[in-house]
Structure formats: structure tokens, C-alpha cells
């Protein structure tokens, strides 16, 4: 199992990005969370099978049709926490 911390920049708030990611993460069996940051980014933690995480990252590179992704920063995490599900944090 792999865990990555992700920050997405661009027009990614108020466009359904978190809901898009939540739906796709659940379909791919990805655990973790996603939230908006105060500086206009979207931050997420993805945990699961490496292939599914790569697929999730590719989906985030495109986002929902109303978004415009400028960049994605991905950092492998050494976090020991095991997530039970995927959630949107507020």
C-alpha cells in the first residue's frame, strides 16, 4: 500500500473538484481525504494500490470539466496512518 500527499493548483475551487475526486477515489478504492486550502489550492492524501493512485492522479490532472488544473505537486508520504475510507474535509 502506498500513500501520497497531493496539492493541486489552478481553478480548482468552487468547480466541484472535491466531489469529482471523492467519487473517483471511491470507484478506485482509494482511501484518504481532500480539502480546499486557504490559498486557493486543493490538498489531498491518496492511499491504496500504486496503479490506482496513479490513475487517481491522472484524473486530478484533468479534473472536472469546469476546472482548470495548472499544476500538481506529489510527495510520497511515510505517514503510518491507515485510512478507512475517502472523505471531503471542510
Compute the Cα dihedral for 75, 80, 84, 89 and give only its sign.
Answer: negative
From the candidates 23, 35, 36, 55, give the one annotated as an active-site residue: 36
Look up residue 46 and give its three cell numbers. Answer: 491518496
* From 18, 24, 52, 80, the catalytic residue: 18
Catalytic: 24? no
Nearest CA-CA partner of 64 in 5, 14, 26: 14
Q: Does residue 18 carry a catalytic annotation?
A: yes
C-alpha span between 90 and 84 (Å, rounded): 18
On whether the CB atoms of residues 71 and 3 are closer than 8 A, the answer is no
Active site residues: 18, 36
Amino acid at each position: 500500500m502506498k500513500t501520497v500527499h497531493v496539492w493541486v493548483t489552478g481553478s480548482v475551487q468552487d468547480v466541484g473538484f472535491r466531489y469529482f475526486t471523492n467519487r473517483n477515489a471511491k470507484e478506485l478504492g482509494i482511501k484518504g481525504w481532500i480539502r480546499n486550502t486557504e490559498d486557493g489550492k486543493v490538498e489531498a492524501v491518496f492511499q491504496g494500490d500504486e496503479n490506482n493512485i496513479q490513475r487517481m492522479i491522472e484524473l486530478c490532472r484533468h479534473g472536472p470539466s469546469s476546472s482548470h488544473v495548472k499544476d500538481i505537486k506529489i510527495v510520497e508520504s511515510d505517514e503510518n496512518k491507515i485510512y478507512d475510507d475517502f472523505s471531503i474535509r471542510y
